[in-house]
Chains A and B, each alone.
Chain A
Amino acid sequence: QLQLQESGPGLVKPSETLSLTCTVSGGSISSATYYWGWIRQPPGKGLEWIGSIFYSGKTFYNPSLKSRVTISVDTSKNQFSLRLSSVTAADTAVYYCARRLEYLSARFDPWGQGTLVTVSS
Chain B
Amino acid sequence: DIQMTQSPSSLSASVGDRVTITCRASQSISTYLNWYQQKPGKAPKLLIYAASSLQSGVPSRFRGSGSGTDFTLTISSLQREDFATYHCQQSYSSPGTFGQGTKVEIK
Contact = CB atoms under 8 A, between A and B. Distances in A.
Interface stretch (A73-81, A83-91, A104-112): A104-112
A104 B99 contact: no
Nearest to A48: B98
State the main secondary structure of chain B at its contact with A. loop
Interface size class of A (residues with CB under 8 A): 20 to 34
A13 B67 CA distance: 44
B95 A104 contact: no
A60 B45 CA distance: 23
Contact of B101 (A46, A106, A107, A113): A46
A64 B95 contact: yes
B42 A47 contact: no
Nearest to A46: B100
B21 interface: no
Nearest to A50: B95
B66 interface: no
Interface residues of B, number: 27
B97 A104 contact: no
Interface string B1-44: 10000000000000000000000000000011110100000111
A105 B50 contact: yes
B53 interface: yes
A3 to B, nearest CB: 11
A47 B101 CA distance: 9
Contacts of B50: 104-105
Given A46-B98, A49-B96, A114-B43, A109 B51 contact: no
Interface of A: 45-49, 60, 62-64, 96, 98, 104-114
Interface of B: 1, 31-34, 36, 42-46, 49-51, 53, 55, 87, 89, 91, 94-101
The 9 closest A-B pairs by CB, nearest first: A111-B43, A106-B91, A109-B46, A105-B50, A47-B98, A62-B95, A104-B50, A107-B34, A46-B100
Given A104-B50, A105-B49, 10 more contacts: A45-B100, A46-B101, A47-B98, A60-B94, A64-B95, A106-B91, A108-B46, A109-B46, A110-B46, A113-B43
